[in-house]
Amino acid sequence: MRDTRPVLLTLTTTRAPATDLGYLLFKHPDKAQRFDTAAGPAFVFYPRADEQECTAALLLEVDPVALSRAHRGQDTGLGHYVNDGPYAAGSLLAVALSRVFKTAMNGRCEARPELAASPIPLRVHVPSAPCKGKDLPERLFGPLGWQVDARTIPLDPAFPEWGDAPYVDLRLTGEIRLADALRQLYVLLPVLDDAKHYWVGADEVDKLLRAGGDWLAAHPERDLISARYLKHRGAYVRTALERLTELEGGEVREEPAENRPLAAVRRETVLGVLRELGARRVLDLGCGGGALLRELVAEPTVTEIVGTDVSPRALAGVARWLERLPERTRERIAVRQSSLTYGDPSLAGFDAAVLMEVVEHVDPPRLPALERVVFDVARPAHVLVTTPNIEHNVRFPGLTGLRHPDHRFEWTRAQFRAWADAVADHRGYTVAFRPVGPDDPEVGPPTQLAVFSRKEA
Amino acid sequence: MDLAIPDMALVVLIGASGSGKSTFARKHFAPTQVLSSDFFRGLVADDENDQTASADAFDALHYVAGKRLRAGRVTVVDATNVQREVRAQLVKLAREHHVLPVAIVLDLPESVCVERNAARPDRDFGAHVVRRHRTLLRKSLSGLAREGFRRLHVLRGQSEVDEARIVIEPLRTDLRGETGPFDVIGDVHGCRDGRKVTVAHGLGESLAQLEAETPEFRAAVRDFCDGLLAHYVLDGGRLVVAHAGLPERYHGRASGAVRSFALYGDTTGETDEYGLPVRYPWATEYRGAAMVLYGHTPTPEAEWVNNTMCLDTGVVFGGKLTALRYPERAVVSVPARKVWYEPARPLGAFTREPDSLELTDVLGRRVVETGYGEVSVRAEQAAAALEVMSRYAVDPRSLWYLPPTMTPPPTHRDGDLLEHPAEAFADYLDQGVREVLCEEKHMGSRAVVLARRDGTGVVHTRTGRAFFPSDDLLPRIADAVTAAGLWSELDTDWLLLDTEIMPWNVKAAELIKDQYAAVGAAAGSVLPAAVSALSAASARGVDVSDLLERTRGRADNAVAFRAAYRGYCGGPVRIAPFQVLASAAATYHTTPHLWHLSVADRLVEADPDLFAPTRRLAVDTADADSVAAGVAWWTELTSAGGEGMVVKPAANLLMRGKRPVQPGIKVRGPEYLRIIYGPDYRDEANLARLRERQLGHKRSLAQREYVLGLAGLDRLVRGEPLWRVHECVFAVLALESDPVDPRL
C-alpha cells in the first residue's frame, strides 16, 4: 500500500514561560516544519503556545513502502498490505523522535542551558501506542517517575466480543528533564510494542546503552527492556546486560547449572539413550534448525546422521551450518526434506529415529499417517519420541494454554502411554518410558520420552 | 536366416575386431539402439581407439544401457565381447532389468578381419590383436549357452552375415493385442467339487484327488498347468493379470525374479502369528498406469488399491468367488456354498492399510497431464507445498479438490474505480465468449464441502485446512440434499460442493481482528487527535492547511474502511453453494452454470436458514444493452454493500485451442477494495500507482490451477488411486506458493 498514514505524539509543558519549550526542542512555536525521516516525512507544529502552556506535536506520515521493505520476507498474505503498523507509534515514532529532536535528546540547549538541565512539568500524549501487555505502560514508565494513564482501545466498538486492540491511548504526566523524557520514549515506545520494525544489529546494543545508560541500569524491568528492545536476540541481550551490570558496579550473573534450559536437558537425555542403544546410524525426524544434529555430529560412535524436516526454510539454515563443517564430519551427516505423513523408503534401515518435540505439531487425525511413515516405512530398530507433559504446565509460571502456539495437543502421561502402547502393539515394537527433566512427584517431568524397540522377527 | 530376438532384449554382439559388428548393427538396428564401445571411448577420451579409456568407456556404456533397459528398449552392445568376464557383466545387467540377454556371434575368418582393419587408417594395431580375439572367441563358443544367453545366434562367414534378418518375437506374456472384454476370475479353488486347480493349500489332498481321476484328465491338467504363465500383459499394456500381483517394473519382463514375484509375491522372510509368510505390500506402493489383477492371498473384500485389485476372496475358505469384468471394472461376487478348506488365518483377520502416499508422489519437478493440457510444477514449489500440506491440511484421503485462484478483470482506467464489469465483459468477448453468467460474489470464506449422505464429511478452506463453521453443518447439509431429492437424482451418496461460507469472520476472525480491526482501531484513535491538534495550530495562524486537509480525508476514509469490513461480519452461519464439483457418478465441468445454481436453489428451498441463494444475471457480451444491464446490476449490488460479482462463461468449461477460457473473472466493488488496498486507495495518486498492477501471472495461474482441479476430479470419479488425485490437489497448492500480489 502506497498511501501514507499519520502517527502522533504531543509534548506539553506548563512551566512558565511555556513557550521556552521551543528553545528546548529547537523548533519555533509559530512555524510548522517538515523533516524527512527513514519512516516517512515528519511534521512538527504547536497546537498551543502561550505563557501558561505550550504543546509541541510530532506528526509522522509513515511511508508504508519503506515499512513493507523492512518487513520483507517476514510476512505473507494480506496482513502484509493492510498493516496496522503505519498507524501505530512504536519504533517508527522512536526513529522519528531521534531524528527530529536529536539535539534536545542530547540535553544540549545554548539558549536555556539551566532549563535543559532541570526537571520541568511535562505531559506526553500518544493516542495509539502499540502495547503488548496490559500493565506494561505502568511497569515501564512508572519507575521513572511518570504518572501513567494508559487507556485501552477496543478493537471495534461494534463487536465488543473481539476485545481490545493491541494499543493504548497513552498519557504520561511527570516532572522530568526533557532530554530524559525523550530518551525514555525513544527506548520504551518500541519495548511497549515488542515489535521493532527493523532488524536488530550489533550496534543497537550501543544505541541502547547511549540512550538508557543513566536510567536503564537501575530500572526494575531492565532485563525485559533489554530483551524486548533487542528483540530477543540472545547474544546481544547478554552483551547489553553484562555491560549494564558493569555500569551498575555489580557482578555478571550466570545462570545456575540446575537451571539449564529444558531443551538442553532433552537433547542430553536423548543422546544418552542413543548411546545406551549403541545406535550408529541415526535419523533426526523433524530436525528443525538442527540443535540435536549439532550434538549428534560430536558423538564419535554415530557414523551416519540423516536429518529431515518438512520446512525448506529450516533446512536452508541447517545447510549453511553443514557447509562450514570439516569435510570428514560432513560426510557423516545429510539433511533433506521429508514429511512425516508421506512414506519415504529412503529412510529405511536406520538404527534409531528421534522425533524430538515433533508429534505435538501433528494434527491428531494425521497421527496414523505418521505412525505408518515412521514405524512401517522407515522402520528403524529404535524410535525415540519426546513430547511435553501437559500435567507439568502448572509448574510454568504465567503459562496459560499450551506451550507453543503451533502445538495441536499436549498429552498427559497417561495419554502419551496409551498412544505409545497402542502404536507399539500395532506396529511390532516394545516401548519403555522415561522422564526428561526433574520428575515432579505430583505432576511428573516437564517432558516425557518413549523409547520404542522393534521386536525382532 | 531369421535371427529371433525376444522383445525387450539386450543384444550382445560378439566378434573380433574387423568382423563387421558395427556394419551389422547399423544394418539391422536404429542408430540410437546401438551402444558401441568405440563411440563411448570417444565420448570419455576424445579418441575412439584409446584402449586406456576402455574401463571408463564401458562404465558409461553400461550406465546408458541400464537406462534403456529400465525403459524396456531393445539395446545392442557393439563391442568385441570376446572375453567371458565382459559378457558376464552384460548378462548381469540384463537380469537386473529383467530382460533377456541374446548373443549374436560374427564368426569371420581372421584374414577378412585383418584385411578390413588394414583398410581403416585409424586402426593401426597389428594382426596379432585379431588373432587374440579369434582365439578367445573360439574358446567361448562352446560355453556361450551356459553363460545365460537365452538366444544364441552364430553367423559363420560373410554370406550368413549378409543373409541374416532380425525378427523381434513378442514374449509369451505379451498379449497386448488382446483387447477383451475379459472376465477375470479370482480363485477357482473349490468352486466346483473336486476341481482344485491350484496347489497353494492342501497340496496333498489335491494330488490325492487327481490320483482318483482318469489318466487323460491328469494329462489335461498337466498340460494346462504347463501352459500357464506367471503373468500376462493385455489390452495394449493397460491390463496386467498375475497370480500374486506384479509391480510395474516387472510388467512384460522376463526373469526368474519376475516369475517368482508373480507366483509367490514378495515375501519378507517373516511369518505372521498364523505361521503364514508376511508379504511385502507392493500394491500400496504401486504407481503404475496398468490395472493389475491378482489373487493368491485371500482378502475378505475385493478392493481397489492403487489401480490393483486382489480378486481372491477366499471361496475355498468359505468366503466368496469374485470376478471382475474388464473394461467395465464391475465386480461380481458369489458366496461360497460351504467352507471347502479351513483357513490357517481367519479371513476376517486380514486388515488392509488404507491408501497411503509416498514422498515421491509429490516432491521434485513434475509435469501433470490434466487432460486439458500439461501443467508443470517446479521442485521448489512442491517443497513449499509439502510443508503446508503436511502441517495444516486435512487428510488427503478426503481432500479431493482445491479451488483455483481467480483473476480480476483488466484494470479500469477511468474515474476512481480500479475494477469495473465492462473490462470483464470485453475480456470474454475477446476470448470468443458471448453468453456469460454474472453471479453475486458472497463476502465470506471459500469452502469446499464434502457432504456424505450419512451426515459426515469434511469442510476445508482453499488451502486445505479443516474448517468448522458450526457443529451441525454437515448433518444439515445432508438433510437438505435429502429433502431436495438430489441423492437419488444424481445417483450418489456424496456430493462435493464449491461454496462460500458466511459471515466472513467465521473463518477470517484472526485476520479481521489482527489486521483490519486493528487498523480501524488505531486510526479511530489517532486521526481525530491529529485533526484536532492540526485545527488548533491552524487557529493560531500556523500554516498547516495541506496537512490538515489530508488528515481530515484520512479520518473519513478510516470510517469508511471500518464500515466496509463490518458489513461482512456477524450474523448466523450461512452457506452459499455455487457449483457441484463432483458426485460418485459424475463431474459437472461442462454442465452450464445455471444448472449448478438451480441445484443451489433447491438446497436453499430445503433449508432457507442455512443456505443462502446466489443472485445471478445472464449477459450477452456482444449486446450493448445487455452489457449495460450487467454494469447496472453490479453497481446496484456493490452500492448496497455487496463484495461484487463473478462473471463466468454460461456454458461452464470452454476450451480455446489447448487452453481453457478463464473460468471466472471477479469484479470487486469499490468499497470492498478499500479493505484490500487500504482506507486511502481511492486518492488519485494512489489509484494511479495501483493501476500499474500486473495481471498476466495471475491470469495464467488461474488457468493452470483450474485445469489441475478438473483433472483431480476426473481422476477421482474415474476411481483412480489416491496418489493420482492427490497429485493434482498438491500441484494446486504448489502453484499457490508462487509470490503473487495477494490483493489481486
Segment B40-63, tens digit of pLDDT: 999 999 988 888 888 999 999 999
When scoring B271, B390, B532, B738 by the number of chain A Cβ atoms within 10 A, the one with the most, hence best to mutate, is: B390
Q: Cβ of A47 and B551 within 8 Å?
A: no
**DSSP letter, residue B411:** P
Spatial separation of the C-alpha atoms in residues A435 and B350, rounded to whole Å: 37
Q: Is the Cβ of A366 closer than 8 Å to some Cβ of chain B?
A: yes
| Cα gap B220→B214, rounded to integer Å | 10
User: Which band of pLDDT confidence, cut at 50, 70 and 90, is reported for residue B488?
Assistant: very high
* Strand intervals (E) in A235-369: 281-285, 304-309, 333-337, 352-356
Q: Are residues A186 and A268 in the same domain?
A: no
**Among candidate residues B349, B372, B393, the one where a domain is terminated:** B349
Q: Is A224 a member of any domain?
A: no
Within an 8 Å CB–CB cutoff, is residue A27 touching chain B? no
Q: What are phi and psi of B677, to 5 degrees?
A: -100, -5
B312 shares a domain with B203: yes
Q: Are residues B416 and B557 in the same domain?
A: no
CA distance A33 to chain B (A): 9
Q: Are residues A272 and A176 in the same domain?
A: no
Say if residue B274 is exposed, middle or buried (CB neighbours under 10 Å; 0-12, 13-18, 19+): exposed
Q: Residue A249, Cβ neighbours under 10 Å: how many?
A: 7
Instruction: Give the least confident one: A209-223, A383-397, B150-164.
Output: A209-223
List all residues of chain B from 652 to 691 with a beta carbon under 8 Å from chain A. 675-681, 683, 686, 689-690
Q: Which of B306, B295, B331, B43 is nearest to B183 (CA)?
A: B331
**B199 and B252 co-located in one domain:** yes
CATH number of B157's domain: 3.40.50.300
Angle, vertex CA A353, rays to CA A348 and CA A354, nearest 5: 155
Contact A165 B526 (CB under 8 A): no
B57, three cell numbers:
568407456
Count Cβ atoms within 10 A of the Cβ of residue B223 and give its class: 0-12 exposed, 13-18 middle, 19 or more buried.
exposed
The secondary structure element, H or E, covering residue B228 is: none
Largest CA distance in chain B: 125
Rounded Cα distance between B157 and B109, Å, is: 7
pLDDT for position A430: 96
3-state helix, strand, coil in chain B (%, to 5): 45, 20, 35
pLDDT at position A234 is 56
Contacts of B562 in chain A (CB under 8 A): 156, 158
Query: Using the beta-carbon criterion (under 8 Å), do B551 and A43 form an inter-chain contact?
Result: no
Per-residue burial over B679-701, b = 16 or more CB atoms within 10 Å of its CB, e = otherwise = bbbbbeebbeebeeeebeebbeb
Q: Closest to A340 (Cβ–Cβ): which among B390, B511, B543?
A: B390
Buried-exposed string B374-393: b where 16+ CB fall within 10 A, e elsewhere: ebebeeebbbbbbbbbbbbb
Alpha carbon of A156: minimum distance to chain B alpha carbons (Å) = 6
> Looking at the predicted structure, is the pLDDT value of residue B371 above 70?
yes
B356 touches chain A (CB under 8 A): yes
Whether B536 is in a domain gets the answer yes
pLDDT of residue A354: 97
Q: What is the DSSP string of B333-390?
A: EEE-SS-SS--SS-GGG--PPPP--BGGGTSS-EEEE-SS-EEEE-HHHHHHHHHHHH
Q: List chain A residues with CB under 8 Å of B688.
A: none
> Between these two residues, B337 and A275, which has the higher pLDDT value?
A275
- Which among A50, A124, A339, A427 is the top mutation candidate for probing chain B, defined by the most B β-carbons within 10 Å of its own β-carbon? A339
- What band does A202 get if pLDDT is binned at 50, 70 and 90? low
CB burial of residue B488 (10 Å; 0-12, 13-18, 19+): exposed
Judged by CB atoms closer than 8 Å, whether chains meet at B523 and A167 is answered as no
Q: Answer whether residue B320 shows pLDDT above 50.
A: yes
Q: Which of residues 34 through 93 in chain A touch B, CB cutoff 8 A?
A: 43, 45-49, 55, 57, 59, 64, 76-84, 87-88
In a domain, A447, yes or no: yes
Q: Would you call A339 and B380 a contact, using CB atoms and an 8 Å cutoff?
A: no
**What does the pLDDT read at residue B178?**
86
A74, part of any domain: yes
The CA distance from B729 to B377, in Å, is 12
Cα gap B580→B497, rounded to integer Å:
5
CATH of the domain at A78: 3.30.1610.20
Q: What is the pLDDT of residue A52?
A: 93
- CB of B276 within 8 Å of a chain A CB? The answer is no
How far B363 CA lies from chain A's nearest CA (Å)? 9
Which residues in chain B are contacts of A125 at CB distance < 8 A? 529
Average pLDDT score over chain B: 87
Q: Which three cell numbers stand for residue A310?
A: 518438512
Parallel, antiparallel or unpaired: strands B291-294 and B267-271:
unpaired
Per CB-CB distance under 8 Å, the chain A contacts of B384 are: 312
CA separation for the pair B183, B66 (Å, rounded): 37
The residue among B276, B293, B281 whose CA lies nearest residue B343 is B276
Nearest CA in chain A to B523: A87
Query: What pLDDT does B635 receive?
Result: 95
Domain assignment present for B496: yes
For residue A26, give the amino acid letter: F
Residue A46, domain member (yes or no): yes
Query: Do B672 and B534 belong together in one domain?
Result: no
pLDDT at residue A77 tops 50:
no
Report whether B600 contacts B440 (CB < 8 A): no
Same domain, residue pair B98 and B162: yes
Residues B419 and B469 in one domain: no
Whole-number Å distance between alpha carbons of B600 and B447 = 15
Q: pLDDT of A12-45, one tens digit each?
A: 999 989 999 999 998 999 999 999 887 788 999 9
pLDDT band at A89 (very low <50, low <70, confident <90, very high): low
Per-residue pLDDT band for A148 (boundaries 50, 70, 90) equals: very high
Do the Cβ atoms of B358 and A342 come within 8 Å?
yes
Highest mean pLDDT among A412-426, B48-62, B252-266, B548-562: A412-426
The answer to which of A183-197, B337-351, B561-575 has the lowest mean pLDDT is B337-351
Assess if residue A300 is contained within a domain: yes
Domain count, chain B: 6
Residue A91: in which H helix or E strand, if any?
A: helix A90-100
* B569·A159 Cβ contact <8 A: yes
Last-in-domain residue among B662, B678, B693: B693
Q: Are residues B164 and B260 in the same domain?
A: no
- Numbers of helices and strands, H then E, in chain B: 24, 30
Q: What is the pLDDT of residues B558-588, one digit of tens each?
A: 888 888 788 778 778 899 999 999 999 999 9
Identify the bridge partners of residue B666 per DSSP, sorted by sequence position.
B646
Give the residue on B whose Cα is nearest the Cα of A30.
Answer: B542
Other residues' Cβ atoms within 10 Å of the Cβ of residue B68:
18
Does one domain contain both B607 and B461? yes
Task: For the beta carbon of residue B591, count every other beta carbon within 10 angstroms.
Answer: 16
% of chain B at pLDDT higher than 90: 48
Tell me which chain B residues have a C-beta less than 8 angstroms from the C-beta of A49. 540
Contact A310 B521 (CB under 8 A): no
Asked if residue B386 and residue B320 are part of one domain, the reply reads: no
Distance CA A165, CA A155 (A): 4
In this complex, the residue of B271, B536, B683 whose CB is nearest that of residue A3 is B683
Q: Does A283 share its domain with A411?
A: yes
Average the pLDDT over B714-736 and give the result: 93
Closest CA in chain B for residue A165: B518
Nearest to B407 by CA among B703, B708, B712, B642: B703
Inspect the interface and report whether the beta carbons of B521 and A153 lie closer than 8 Å: yes
- Whether the predicted pLDDT of A175 surpasses 90: yes
Of B527, B541, B742, the CB nearest to A77: B742
Q: Please identify, among A160, A179, A198, the residue that sits at the C-terminal boundary of a domain.
A: A198
Q: How far apart are CA A4 and CA B546, in angstroms?
A: 14
**Better-predicted residue by pLDDT, B689 or A284:** A284
With beta carbons less than 8 A apart as the criterion, state whether A284 and A374 touch.
no
Within 8 A of B285 by CB-CB distance, chain A residues are 343, 345
- Identify whether B181 is preceded by a cis peptide bond (ω within 30 of 0): yes
Task: Report the C-alpha gap between A31 and B541 in whole angstroms.
Answer: 9
In-domain check, residue B354 = no
Confidence of residue B372 (pLDDT cuts 50, 70, 90): very high
Contact present, A82 and B675 (Cβ < 8 Å): yes
* Banded pLDDT at B291 (limits 50, 70, 90): very high
- pLDDT of res. B324: 85
H/E run at residue A369:
helix A367-371
Q: Please check the confidence at residue A83 and state whether its pLDDT lies above 90.
A: no
Task: Give the residue from A392, A393, A379, A394 showing the smallest Cα distance to A424.
Answer: A379
Same domain? For A14 and A119 the reply is: yes
- My answer on whether B624 and B605 are in the same domain is no
B683 neighbourhood in chain A, CB within 8 Å: 3
Report yes or no: A169 at the B interface, CB cutoff 8 Å.
Answer: yes
Helix axes B54-70, B84-96, angle to 10 degrees: 30
Domain endpoint, select from A198, A217, A251: A198
Contacts of B518 in chain A (CB under 8 A): 84, 155, 165-167
**Distant-in-sequence, close-in-space partners of B68: CB < 8 Å, separation ≥ 6:** B35, B75
Q: Confirm or reject contact between B387 and chain A (CB < 8 A).
A: yes
Interface of A with B in 85-104 (CB under 8 A): 87-88
Q: How many CA atoms lie within 13 A of B588 on its CB side?
A: 21
> How many structural domains comprise chain A?
2
DSSP secondary structure code for residue B611 in this structure: B
Least confident of A315-329, B199-213, B255-269, B407-421: B199-213
CATH number, domain with residue A320: 3.40.50.150
Q: Looking at the structure, do residues B252 and B344 belong to the same domain, yes or no?
A: yes
Are both B37 and B116 inside the same structural domain?
Answer: yes
**Contact across the interface for B395 and A79, Cβ inside 8 Å:** no
Q: Do B533 and A55 count as a contact with CB atoms less than 8 A apart?
A: yes
Kindly identify which residue of chain A lies nearest to residue B674, measuring between CA atoms: A82
Residue B76 phi, psi (nearest 5): -115, 125
* pLDDT over 80 at A418, yes or no: yes
Is pTM beyond 0.95? Reply is no
Between strands B665-668 and B644-649, the pairing is antiparallel
The answer to whether the CB of B244 falls within 8 A of the CB of B262 is yes
Residues B693/B740, Cβ–Cβ less than 8 Å = no
Least confident residue range of A67-76, A397-406, A445-454, B8-17:
A67-76
Helix intervals (H) in B107-148: 110-119, 127-141
Distance from CA of B406 to the nearest CA of A (A): 16
Span B690-715, average pLDDT: 93
CB pairs under 8 A between A and B: 200
Query: Looking at this predicted complex, what is its ipTM?
Result: 0.75
Residues of B in contact with A311 (CB under 8 A): 387
* pLDDT category of residue B351 using cuts at 50, 70 and 90: low
Which of B386, B519, B540 lies closest to A337 in CB terms? B386
Residue A295 CA to residue A315 CA, distance in Å, equals: 17
Contact B10, B77 (CB under 8 A): yes
Backbone angles phi, psi at B34, to 5 degrees: -100, 125
Strand bridging mode A40-49 / A54-62:
antiparallel
Q: For chain A, positions 210-269, list CB contacts with chain B under 8 A.
A: none
Chain B CB within 8 Å of residue A177 CB: no
Is A238 within a domain?
A: no
Domain endpoint, select from A146, A178, A198: A198
Is the pLDDT reported for residue A319 higher than 60?
yes
DSSP state of A79: G
Q: What pLDDT shows up at residue B491?
A: 95
The answer to whether the Cβ–Cβ distance between B537 and A339 falls below 8 Å is no
B355 in a domain, yes or no? no
Using CA atoms, how far apart are residues B425 and B620, in angstroms rounded to an integer? Answer: 8
Residue numbers of the domain that contains B672: 408-442+615-693
In A, which residues are within 8 Å of B517 by CB distance? 155-156, 159, 162, 165
State residue A121's pLDDT score: 95
Percent of chain B with pLDDT over 70: 92
Residues of B in contact with A349 (CB under 8 A): none
For residue A212, tell me if it sits in a domain.
no
Residue B498 half-sphere exposure toward CB, CA atoms < 13 A: 22
The residue range of the domain holding A171 is 5-198
Which run of H or E residues covers position A64? helix A64-71
Query: How many CB atoms sit inside 10 A of residue B440's CB?
Result: 22
CB B389 within 8 A of CB A338: no
Cα–Cα dist B603/B490, whole Å: 14
pLDDT, greater one: B185 or B576: B576
Terminal Cα-to-Cα distance of chain B (whole angstroms): 71
Q: Determine the distance in angstroms separating the CA of B607 from the nearest CA of chain A, rounded to an integer.
A: 28
